[in-house]
Amino acid sequence: MASKLGNDLKGLLRSIGYLADQIDTVEAAARIKSNIWFRGPNVWILAFSIIIASVGLNVNSTAVIIGAMLISPLMGPIIGVGLALGTNDTETLRQSALNLIVMVLISLLASSLYFLISPLELANPTELAARTHPTIYDVLIAFFGGLAGILESTRKEKGTVLSGVAIATALMPPLCTAGYGLANGNWRFFVGATFLFVINGIFIILATYIMVQVLGFHKVEYTDSRQDNRRRALMVALTIAVIVPSVLSAIHVIRENNFERSVKSFVASNKTFSKGYIYDYNIDGLSAEIFVVGAALDPETEELLMASAERHGLQRDQIKIKEHSFGTDRETSEQVLRTLNERAEAEIVRKDGEIKRLERQIDALRGEEIPYAQIAREVKYQFPAIKDITISRGASVSTDSLKVRNYTQVLATTGKEMRRSEVVELQNWLQIRLADSTVVVNNLVKK
């Protein structure tokens, strides 16, 4: 019985993941090759996407940047490189690489020119800054996005997956950010954004290469055995050249990500210590500067900080404590005080906003309060037969649709049953009196 159940489960899983009758690798290969060229419509589409991405980054508009991701033709030659590596097709590899290089150079030059002549300058360019520091998530997104992209390319029935892949594996925005770095001489932006683009491109190529192997794309065969061996050696070398940097960059990004988390944890745990205070920190690669203020650090306190850093997974040579003691340097002390005041003011503004939000909620609740005693007096004057009145707010939920309907329930207790017209009159009056059209009145008879 257990064996049959296991076989049935295996069969079910196999049928769910079965792809052979839903993909066409021949048509997919032809379609990918047709999209690698930088000519005709692709030239204009690239130009448009550069302008859209640059403007979106310049005005901090996420929606505009997403539009540039969707129309960018950069994905074509990148997937073409992965296909060529997986099928030993040196000609496609050469054409894909050449077209990709041309597209990248034009994107860098055009975006640099845009930012040189653009009159707009943001005080806090968050969209630009967001594309200068790759994380492990960028690696995962590029890799799995590449897997989804090549799988969608082979599918007989096309869906909207490629649009999602284009958004997830952003290619044009990092290039335009690198162009911004070139135009402004900001090498941190240029290097960081270029690294993000390289990560995205390499992992899309790696994912395409893997899926081409798994899906069994037709490989190019050469009649000359010596030429075939040379081409195969070239393809192996290039494949290694793609895989090795992929692994190294992933390791580097993971280390930086873990280091940043460790620094944040260390700072949070040691925000205040002895007679000092950590008021800021700066991370550069795998090293961090910790800015402290207060009384001069004695060797014992500094050793305690370093021991705490080690407990958070940091090495001593990765941490540099920059100490600012009040009174020793007037300019530095004033700078520290300004920083502390700015943070305090920002926290006060945040708390004031929270207080106002809570006050609005309280006012709203007070507005919904029912003046029970006053209502009872008015009811007794207008409907003397009512001995007791119960008012409660509640909700009814349909068990079929699960639709919730809020209402106010009123229970009027009398010695004998009220006429229907009296119940309706009371209900209409209460709806006006309470400014609540959901009031429902029921009559309870107690003799």
pLDDT at 336 over 70: no
**DSSP-assigned letters across all residues of 398-443:** -TTT--EEEEEEEEEEESSPPPHHHHHHHHHHHHHHTT-TTEEEEE
Q: Do 53 and 97 contact (CB within 8 A), yes or no?
A: no
Give the per-residue pLDDT at 4.
56
Least confident of 6-10, 242-246, 349-353, 412-416: 6-10
Give the per-residue pLDDT at 327.
45
Q: How far apart are CA 74 and CA 99, in angstroms?
A: 9
b/e per residue 86-95 (b: at least 16 CB within 10 A): bbbbbebbeb
Least Cα distance to 145 among 202, 73, 71 occurs for 202
Q: What pLDDT, in 10s, does the model give residues 211-246?
A: 888 888 888 776 666 766 776 676 677 667 767 776
Encoding tokens for residue 47? 């130009």
Least Cα distance to 131 among 73, 178, 87, 95 occurs for 178
Give the per-residue pLDDT at 324.
64
- For 133, the enclosing helix (H) or strand (E) is none
Q: Where are the alpha helices (DSSP H) in 17-61?
A: 25-34, 41-58
Least Cα distance to 279 among 209, 348, 335, 205 occurs for 335
Q: Do 163 and 71 contact (CB within 8 A), yes or no?
A: no
Q: How far apart are CA 191 and CA 6, in angstroms?
A: 53
Q: How far apart are CA 179 and CA 400, in angstroms?
A: 57
Q: How far apart are CA 184 and CA 122, in angstroms?
A: 13
Residue that has been written with the tokens 């007791």 in this structure:
388
pLDDT band at residue 63 under the 50/70/90 scheme:
confident
pLDDT band at residue 98 under the 50/70/90 scheme:
very high
Least confident of 112-121, 126-135, 227-236, 415-424: 227-236
Q: Give the highest mean pLDDT range of 84-93, 106-115, 199-208, 242-251.
A: 106-115
Q: Give the highest mean pLDDT range of 230-239, 276-285, 375-384.
A: 375-384
Degrees, nearest 5: CA angle 292-294-295? 120
Give the per-residue pLDDT at 201.
86
446/7: higher pLDDT: 446
What is the pLDDT averaged over residues 333-359? 69
Cβ within 8 Å of residue 249, ≥6 positions away: 139, 195, 198, 199, 202
Give the per-residue pLDDT at 338.
63
What is the pLDDT averaged over residues 333-360? 69
Q: Write out the E strands in 306-415.
A: 319-324, 386-397, 404-414
Mean pLDDT score across all residues of the chain: 78
Where residue 216 falls (left for φ over 0; alpha for ψ -120 to 50; beta otherwise) is left
What is the pLDDT averaged over residues 92-114? 90
CA distances from 179 to 43, 54, 370, 399, 422 (A): 18, 9, 63, 58, 78
Q: Tell me the helices (H) and strands (E) count for the chain, helix number first.
A: 16, 7
Q: Give the highest mean pLDDT range of 2-11, 102-111, 194-203, 435-444.
A: 102-111
Q: Could you give the percent of the chain with pLDDT greater than 90?
A: 1
pLDDT at 2 over 60: no
Q: How many CB atoms lie within 10 A of CB 246?
A: 20
Q: How far apart are CA 137 and CA 168, in angstroms?
A: 11
Q: What is the pTM of this model?
A: 0.58
265/323: higher pLDDT: 265
pLDDT at 21 over 70: no
Edge-first strand order for the sheet with 287-294 is 272-273, 276-284, 287-294, 319-324
Give the per-residue pLDDT at 5.
57
Cβ within 8 Å of residue 160, ≥6 positions away: none
Dihedrals φ, ψ of 39, to 5°? -160, 165
pLDDT at 366 over 50: yes
pLDDT at 296 over 80: no
Least confident of 11-15, 17-21, 72-76, 315-319: 11-15
DSSP code at position 274: T
